[in-house]
Structure 1
Amino acid sequence: MWFFAILVVLALGGIALVAAGRGAPLAEVYDDRPDSSVPAEGPLTADDLRRVRFSLGFRGYRMSEVDALLDRLASEREEADREQGTERGRGDEPTA
């Protein structure tokens, strides 16, 4: 009986040592999140918005909703860029 009690205590002590980080080291941590590839500075373009990818968390998000919003923002950005291009082409831009 005492032999099994000592054996259990030694086994629990070994498990505690491994759990505390003693023994073999764990694998190196690496960042597995997707690169968003959005420029940190300057205005965003429609293509920048289309390249955005979000990382998933435990509770996550509805990917279809985020993708739909990004598509809408990219389309609106393209439309705004086109309007700016036509206004510049008409000469509506003030001269300095």
Structure 2
Amino acid sequence: MFWFLLIALVVVVTAVALAVVGGDGPGRTATGGLADVPPDRLVAWLPSDRPVNRGDLEALRLPVAARGYRMADVDDVLDRLGAELAERDARIAELEASLAGEQAAAMGHPEMFEKPGDAPGEPR
């Protein structure tokens, strides 16, 4: 029984080795062996010509590496989202300040939002 198992093991190992190393066929190179697989990279990247929207984030699929996700790709996505959020926050603050100034002017207290040293009623 021992010899039978040993011979079966040798036959299986030899068959697997020949399948990996030799022969032309689908997925094989002309010199034998398996064809190189292109690295797993992002297929759909975030658009550079417009702001990112919800659909872009839902369609985004980060490539998987040996131990999770590729750090460089994740860092790029987080940097882009952080920059866009900061830009939107600045725009929101600017619009809220403008709205508060208009509301103060409508209530009859435009001097409420002037800086010290500005001439009253002078446009900024």
TM more than 0.5: no
| Larger of the two Rg values belongs to structure | 2
TM-score by length of 2: 0.32
